[in-house]
């Protein structure tokens, strides 16, 4: 079983829409969670860190549900520039190991 699983999409949404991605993780010892953004043929860049139940940064909200072992990312008022692949990342603290999901592809349509 994979450490981190994401719906690969693709998600195609109109500008201004709200879209949500889910990510599940298998190891209950996972301590920290992140969302990275990766543009086509570019390197991943940190979007948000999720250390407790969740946090918000402008149009982006990340939530963590430890009981069900999933993390979600909500994007409100989607912009064309939000088009990218969103990678869910889990850190298993004991070994400082980072596991990336396969990514969810988002295209925002004019």
Partner 1 sequence: EAGVAQSPRYKIIEKRQSVAFWCNPISGHATLYWYQQILGQGPKLLIQFQNNGVVDDSQLPKDRFSAERLKGVDSTLKIQPAKLEDSAVYLCASSLVPGRYGTQYFGPGTRLTVL
- What is the contact surface with partner 1 in residues (CB under 8 A)? 4, 8, 31-32, 42-46, 49, 51, 87, 91, 93, 95-103
* CA–CA separation, 4 and 27 (whole Å): 9
CA 51 – CA 28 distance, rounded (Å) = 14
Nearer residue to partner 1 within complex by CB, 46 or 109: 46
Least Cβ distance, residue 38 to partner 1 (angstroms):
9
Q: Which two tokens stand for residue 58?
A: 């402008």
Looking only at the bridges linking them, the beta strands covering 84-92 and 97-100 are antiparallel
Largest alpha-carbon pair distance within the chain?
A: 45
Tell me whether residue 4 or residue 108 sits nearer to partner 1 (CB atom).
Answer: 4
Q: Identify whether the C-beta of residue 66 lies closer than 8 Å to the C-beta of residue 1.
A: no
CB of 20 to partner 1, least distance (A): 19
Number of Cβ within a 10 Å radius of residue 67:
6
Closer residue to partner 1 (CB): 96 or 110: 96
Residue 15 Cβ, how far from partner 1 at the closest point, in Å? Answer: 26
When the beta carbons of 11 and 101 are compared against partner 1, the nearer one is 101
Report, in Å, the least distance between residue 77 CB and partner 1: 26
């Amino acid at each position: 079983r994979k450490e981190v699983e994401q719906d690969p999409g693709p998600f195609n949404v109109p500008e201004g829409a709200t879209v949500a991605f889910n990510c599940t993780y298998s190891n209950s010892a996972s301590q920290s969670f992140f969302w990275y953004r990766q543009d086509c043929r570019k390197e991943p860049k940190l979007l948000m860190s999720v250390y407790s139940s969740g946090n918000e940064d402008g149009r982006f909200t990340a939530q963590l549900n430890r009981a069900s072992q999933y993390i979600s990312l909500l994007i409100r008022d989607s912009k064309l520039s939000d088009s990218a692949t969103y990678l869910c990342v889990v850190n298993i603290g004991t070994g400082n190991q980072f596991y990336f999901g396969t990514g969810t592809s988002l295209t925002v349509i004019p």
